[in-house]
Amino acid sequence: MISVLVVDDSAAVRRIVTAALESDPGIAVVGQAVDGQHALELADELAPDAVVLDIEMPVLDGLAALRRLRAAHPRMPVIMFSTLTERGAVKTLEALSLGASDYVTKPTGTASLAESASEIAGQLIPKITALVGTAQALQAVDQPLPPPRPVLAPGEATRPEVMMVGCSTGGPDALAALLRDLPFNLRVPVVVVQHMPPVFTAMFASRLDRVSALTVTEAVDGEPLEAGHVYVAPGDRHLSVHRSDDRVLTRIDAGPPENFCRPSVDVLFRSGAHVYGPGALGVVLTGMGHDGTAGCRAVQASGGTVVVQDRASSVVWGMPGAVVQAGLAHDVVALDKLAARLTELVRG
């Protein structure tokens, strides 16, 4: 049984979140806190497996509470409960940089109570289950965990012409770490799919631009890819690439979700494999689910290269783990060594 602490200053929200979570027989809400200070007291008293934490609260807000929770309980999964607004996006991205495990967005005011509970359950339950499972596994093993299957032996690799990166849960922090360490004179463009809603992605790209020597922007339709530039898929839109004469351009569209995701890593990776062939480099970072596995299969089939983040440094080893288990990874690398490894590949 997974125990959860729910923190929100609204009694109505606490009731809805509790009902949503307890619709899963494997989850029990063991406490409800009305503000950040109350949350800290209950976290120490109840030692829950996970915390759902509102951002805007009196007495002690979610960000201040998160800082203190992280100091006292460094491995406890904390999921922020955010509004789908510009202010909510800013606060949520700050929370992720402070160590929040993930976030979900609150339903809009037009949703009924039943619709709100269903939407919250659909977002929260899979994330809590995955994050708690990862936290428990890492508590049991302090050394880096080996991949479940041997990685593919590197062949005669073509020097990459593009770097495609896909990630989800834990991805914002992992991307910031990766882009911070990539050199300013990187010889290839970097194209990124991070599972993230609208409003968030433009601000996310701006935050990445501030920490990276590369130029990071939210992608727009029809722009040519340039070396040393990073293109982040906009929320709720697929990002792919296509060739036009002697240039490679971005394509933004609202095609059907894949793996319940839009943007989807598979959509980007398939297009990159088609355009660049053996010059495609696919990188899969931390995330839930298996988005990216089919795309990595396309990259491998085209003669390209696949590199994934290792289990020990991933918040959730779902997406990279699925690639490894499918036998599609050429290399499995810890996050703190990933930029150096990718730079080495790009430089041939």
Nearest 5°: CA angle at 72, between 66 and 75? 80
Paired with 103 in beta bridges are 80
Question: Which residues touch 191 (CB under 8 Å, ≥6 apart)?
Answer: 162, 163, 164, 165, 219, 225, 230, 231, 233, 239, 241, 250, 268, 272
Paired with 250 in beta bridges are 241
The secondary structure of residue 261, as a DSSP letter, is B
- Nearest alpha-carbon partner for 290 in 329, 254, 333, 261: 261
Rounded CA gap, 78 and 213, in Å? 30
Is residue 238 annotated as a catalytic residue, yes or no? Answer: no
- Per DSSP, the three-state class of 192 is strand
Per annotation, catalytic residue among 195, 229, 290, 330? 195
Place of tokens 């809603």: 197
End-to-end CA distance of the chain: 49
Per annotation, catalytic residue among 101, 291, 302, 313? 291
Rounded CA gap, 80 and 66, in Å? 9
Is residue 291 annotated as a catalytic residue, yes or no? Answer: yes
Tokens of 330: 């050429």
Rounded CA gap, 207 and 331, in Å? 28
Is residue 195 annotated as a catalytic residue, yes or no? Answer: yes
Per annotation, catalytic residue among 82, 116, 168, 264? 168
What are the catalytic residues? Answer: 168, 195, 291
